[in-house]
Amino acid sequence: MSTNELTMTVVGWVATVPKIYTGPGTTPYTSFRMATTRRYFDRTANTWVDGRTEWFTVKAWRQQADNVAKSLRKSDPVIVHGRFSTEEWTGPEGARHSSVLEAIAIGPDLTFGRSSFARTVNVADAESREAGQNGGAIEQPGPASGPDPWATGAPVTHAPDDLDDLDDDLDADAAEIGSLNPGG
């Protein structure tokens, strides 16, 4: 980690379809464009006003690249935390530049909806642990590749209906507690 890096958190919307780039001898990465527009309340006009839209190219690497490509869609609200930089190149129109956010963490903005999380597990490593290879220990991967060292088994998923079942259980518990307390 550099002592002079600029990290930032951007809240916005996925503006293009996330595309994964792979190839022999290259590190896989996913790239998409992200837009963020500041909104503020104009007291003189008594209305909300959109400010300037800022555009970023978001890049995610390795396992995160695969997860992003499989999870995010165009127009999804997202929060991206990462290292900011600029890329410069020469195109047909002349010198060009782009603001780039190399993602450290990406997630959905739950202000606008619900999400369900499923941990990704390297199937080959899970099978080798079950077979008793390596004494059941998880090998610590290097920083560039390897399995998730925190993976403990099959992905845990929660269907949105589970929340409704939980609400029903809580309502039943509250009714039972209310019947035990005749004064309350």
* Confidence at residue 136, expressed as pLDDT on a 0 to 100 scale: 42
pLDDT of residue 183: 52
Please state the pTM of the whole predicted model. Answer: 0.62
Angle at 144 between CA 142 and CA 22, to 5 degrees: 145
Handedness of CA 91, 93, 94, 99 (dihedral sign): negative
Per-residue pLDDT of the chain (184 residues; tens, 9 = 90+): 567 889 999 999 999 999 999 888 888 999 999 999 999 999 999 999 999 999 999 999 999 999 999 999 999 999 999 999 999 988 899 998 899 999 999 999 999 988 888 888 766 555 555 555 544 444 444 444 455 555 555 554 544 555 555 556 556 655 655 555 555 4
State the amino acid at position 28 in one-letter form. Answer: P
The pairing of strands 94-108 and 47-61 is parallel
Distant-in-sequence, close-in-space partners of 79: CB < 8 Å, separation ≥ 6: 9, 10, 11, 106, 107, 108, 109
Kindly report the number of other CB atoms within 10 A of residue 98's CB atom.
13
The kind and range of the H/E element at 94 are strand 94-108
Domains in the chain with CATH codes:
1-112 (2.40.50.140)
